[in-house]
């Protein structure tokens, strides 16, 4: 929000501070020339309304965007934003061909009923009967990739293989999707498999209003029994900012009508659904609580009751690394029995392991299905995951330090040179502030502080920024905006990739004060 007059005043002040003619020492003169040129480059950007608007909206990356040279000048910030987005779209289109967006699922069903349902009298004469038999009874693998053809057309190739108790099959599908407008898209699908005949499908999505949309999916499945048509229509509406309502009608294979309400907020996710259909009718209620922690922990529970019986499910999921989420759910039902479902999401790949424990409602099975995964998770988290993530973070920080070492060294030298060049100006500022009992920075440090006892083994990494901070004092005030303080004159980043703060001990009206500010936090002292 700085006016042109304020920019000019700041420019003049920094020019006076860094002007090469003010320094006789050859080394200081060279350093002053370099800093003077940097200030001049900054002023060239900010004094031009067009480049300033680009920089204000998008920072350096906006200035580095190719194509601005052909844009006519005298544009408003809104027009510049629009132009930037157009240039960005062109760049995205150039990258489009490199994207395939692979997605996959691997599901392995495990039959572990022998752990709980076995009867000793049946196994007395069987060799090896002392060990329970755990076997894989079903598997499913699916994979899809997208191939962008143009900015509006995409081809999607997908396939799947399934097997259960020694019998299985697979299919392959090709879909062509076209975005017809900002309000909708259409998709044609062709498929074939060894168990089913050819499949032809059409899917249409359309925004009816800003708060309402509809999807329709028509399919023709060819088989030895003839043609089996199917139609699915979903109508959805935003009931409020966090709530969606859905109406679904499915005709053909397993015809049904379904209505559901989904409420999703920052801390919770709630769903209630009712379905009337052939062969299954049911009612389902589920709730998920989202903890606002670093690991994005979620606990969930659901109740589903219908003609097939009743199922109660409860579980939790947690982020175990930057791209991985691990979850476990216990399912207790009549007549389904007890199952444990373990799921790992790794980027766009999903690994799913449903473990069927017993066909009966046994308290021991419910207990072990609940406690077992918790004990294993916390043991693995402490002994494997946590040390691995710590080592990975250290490797990434080390890699980042190595890649930016020359840049940080250059900025450190510039900062040290700026501090030397500021000495005379700071002496005059302190004299003026002492005369009016104003603002004097006694000590200031910038970098990584360790205040938490749990982090006492970590090393403190700070630099003294007393001189550059005092140099920014004007009329007994120090005002810093919401930006990383590493970019201030006389500052540099002492701990790349780590959390930083600014700690200031200052004197105002003869009284000592202390303030701590986060790296990107705005600061104004003296405090009001």
Q: Which of 138, 134, 128, 195 lies closest to 164, judged by CA?
A: 138
pLDDT tens figures, 238-267: 999 999 999 999 998 789 999 999 999 999
Q: Extract long-range pairs of 156-165: CB within 8 Å, 24+ residues apart.
A: 162/138, 163/138, 163/139, 164/109, 164/137, 164/138, 164/139, 165/137, 165/138
Q: Name the nearest CA neighbour of 493 among 426, 407, 418.
A: 407
Q: Which of 235-244, 341-350, 363-372, 400-409 has the lowest mean pLDDT?
A: 400-409
Q: Regarding beta strands 501-508 and 439-448, do their DSSP bridges make them parallel or antiparallel, or are they unpaired?
A: antiparallel
User: Residue-wise over 321-349: b if at least 16 C-beta within 10 A, else e?
Assistant: eeeebbbbbbbbbeebbbbbbbbbbeeee
The more confidently predicted of residues 130 and 117 is 117
Look up tokens 């205040």; give the residue.
451
In angstroms, what CA-CA distances link 49 with 10, 56, 77, 210, 501? 17, 10, 9, 36, 33
For 469-501, write each residue's pLDDT tens digit.
998 888 888 988 888 888 888 898 888 888 889
**pLDDT, position 307:** 87
Higher-confidence position of 139 and 335: 139
Whether residue 70 is predicted with pLDDT greater than 50 in this model: the reply is no
Instruction: Tell me the C-alpha to C-alpha distance, in Å, between residue 300 and each of 242, 378, 403.
Output: 18, 19, 43
Residue 191 pLDDT: 93
What is the average per-residue pLDDT within 444-467? 77
Task: Please enumerate in sequence order all residues whose Cβ is within 8 A of that of 527, keeping only pairs 6 or more positions apart, or say none.
Answer: 513, 515
Token pair, residue 147, equals 């191939």
Q: What is residue 65's three-state secondary structure?
A: coil
pTM: 0.64
Instruction: Please check whether residue 335 is in contact with residue 309, taking contact to mean a CB–CB distance below 8 angstroms.
Output: yes
Average pLDDT over residues 337-343: 94
Sign of the torsion angle spanned by Cα atoms 364, 365, 366, 368: positive
- Spatial distance between the Cα atoms of 82 and 72, rounded to a whole number of angstroms: 13
- Give me the chain's average pLDDT, please: 85
Which residue shows structure tokens 């330090």? Answer: 401
CA dist., res. 394 & res. 388, Å (int): 10
Max mean pLDDT range (160-169, 232-241, 431-440, 477-486):
232-241
Residue 511 token pair: 């009284």
Does 429 score more than 50 pLDDT? yes
And the tokens for 243? 């709530």
What does the pLDDT look like over 376-386, one tens digit per residue? 988 988 888 88
Give the per-residue pLDDT at 18. 84
Give the mean model confidence (pLDDT) for residues 263-282. Answer: 92
Residue 376 to residue 387: CA distance in whole angstroms: 16
Q: What angle do CA 46, 49, 50 make, to 5 degrees?
A: 105
End-to-end CA distance of the chain: 21
- Whether residue 120 is predicted with pLDDT greater than 50 in this model: the reply is no
Q: Which residues, including other chains, have CB under 8 Å from residue 463's CB and lie 6 or more apart?
A: 445, 446, 447, 491, 492, 494
pLDDT at 99: 67
What pLDDT score was predicted for residue 5? Answer: 87
Distance CA 247, CA 362 (A): 38
pLDDT per residue as tens digits for the range 192-231? 988 778 999 999 999 999 899 999 999 998 887 888 899 9
Overall average pLDDT of the 317-335 stretch: 90
Model pLDDT, residue 211:
92
User: In the chain, what percentage of residues exceed pLDDT 70?
Assistant: 89
Q: What is the pLDDT of residues 6-55, one digit of tens each?
A: 888 888 888 888 888 877 778 778 888 888 888 998 998 888 887 887 78
Give me the pLDDT at residue 490, please. Answer: 87
Token match 């999401």: residue? 345
- Among 211, 212, 256, residue whose Cα is nearest residue 232: 256
> Which position has the higher pLDDT, 141 or 118?
141
The conformation of residue 150, written as its DSSP 8-state character, comes to S
Alpha-carbon dihedral of residues 62, 68, 71, 74, nearest 10 degrees?
A: 50
Can you tell me the distance from the alpha carbon of 498 to that of 426, in angstroms, rounded to the nearest whole number?
Answer: 30
Query: Which alpha helices (H) appear in 436-528, and where do they start and end?
Result: 466-471
Count how many Cα atoms sit within 13 Å of the Cα of residue 390 in the half-sphere of its side chain: 9
Q: What is the pLDDT of residues 96-114, one digit of tens each?
A: 555 677 889 999 999 998 8
Hey, is 515 helix, strand or coil? strand
- Region 280-304: what's the mean pLDDT? 92
DSSP 3-state helix, strand, coil percentages of the chain (rounded to 5)?
30, 40, 25
Residue 342 has pLDDT above 50, yes or no: yes
**pLDDT above 90 as % of the chain:** 39
């Amino acid at each position: 929000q700085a006016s042109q007059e304020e920019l000019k005043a700041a420019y003049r002040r920094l020019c006076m501070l860094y002007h090469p003619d003010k320094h006789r020492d050859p080394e200081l003169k060279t350093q002053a020339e370099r800093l003077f040129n940097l200030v001049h480059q900054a002023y060239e950007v900010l004094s031009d309304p067009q480049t300033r608007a680009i920089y204000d909206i998008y920072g350096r990356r906006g200035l580095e965007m190719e194509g601005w040279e052909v844009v006519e000048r005298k544009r408003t910030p809104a027009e510049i934003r629009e132009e930037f987005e157009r240039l960005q779209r062109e760049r995205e289109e150039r990258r489009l061909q490199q994207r395939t967006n692979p997605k996959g699922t691997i599901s392995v069903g495990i039959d572990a009923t022998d752990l709980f349902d076995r009867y000793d009298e049946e196994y007395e004469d069987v060799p090896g009967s002392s060990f329970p038999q755990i076997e894989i009874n079903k598997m499913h693998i699916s994979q899809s990739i997208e191939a962008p053809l143009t900015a509006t057309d995409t081809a999607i190739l997908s396939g799947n293989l399934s097997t259960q108790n020694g019998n299985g099959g697979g299919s392959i599908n090709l879909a062509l999707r076209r975005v017809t407008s900002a309000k909708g898209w259409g998709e044609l699908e062709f498929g074939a498999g060894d168990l089913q005949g050819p499949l032809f499908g059409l899917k249409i999505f359309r925004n009816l209003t800003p708060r309402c949309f509809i999807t329709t999916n028509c399919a023709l499945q060819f088989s030895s029994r003839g043609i089996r048509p199917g139609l699915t229509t979903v109508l959805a509406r935003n009931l409020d900012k966090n709530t969606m309502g859905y109406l679904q009608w499915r005709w053909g294979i397993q015809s049904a009508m379904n209505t559901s309400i989904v409420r999703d907020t920052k801390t919770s996710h709630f769903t209630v659904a009712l379905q009337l259909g052939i062969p299954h009718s049911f009612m389902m209620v589920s709730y998920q609580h989202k903890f606002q922690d670093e690991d994005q922990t979620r606990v969930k529970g659901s109740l589903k009751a219908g003609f097939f019986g009743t199922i109660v499910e409860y579980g939790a999921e947690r982020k175990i690394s930057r791209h991985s989420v691990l979850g476990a759910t216990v399912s207790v039902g009549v007549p389904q029995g007890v199952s444990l479902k373990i799921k790992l999401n790794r980027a766009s790949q999903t690994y799913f392991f449903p473990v069927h424990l017993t066909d009966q409602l046994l308290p021991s099975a419910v207990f072990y299905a609940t406690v077992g995964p918790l004990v294993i998770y916390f043991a693995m988290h402490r002994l494997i995951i946590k040390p691995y993530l710590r080592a990975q973070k250290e490797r990434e920080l080390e890699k980042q330090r190595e890649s930016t070492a020359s840049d940080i060294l250059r900025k450190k030298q510039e900062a040290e040179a700026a501090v030397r060049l500021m000495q005379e100006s700071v002496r005059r500022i302190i004299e003026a502030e002492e005369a009016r009992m104003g603002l004097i920075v006694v000590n200031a440090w910038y970098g990584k502080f360790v205040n938490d006892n749990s982090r006492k083994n970590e090393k403190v990494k700070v630099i003294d920024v007393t001189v550059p901070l005092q140099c920014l004092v004007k009329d007994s005030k120090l005002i810093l905006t919401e930006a990383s303080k590493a970019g201030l004159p006389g500052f540099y980043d002492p701990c790349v990739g780590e959390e930083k703060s600014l700690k200031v001990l200052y004197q105002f009206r003869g009284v000592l004060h202390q303030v701590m500010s986060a790296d990107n936090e705005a600061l104004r002292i003296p405090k009001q």
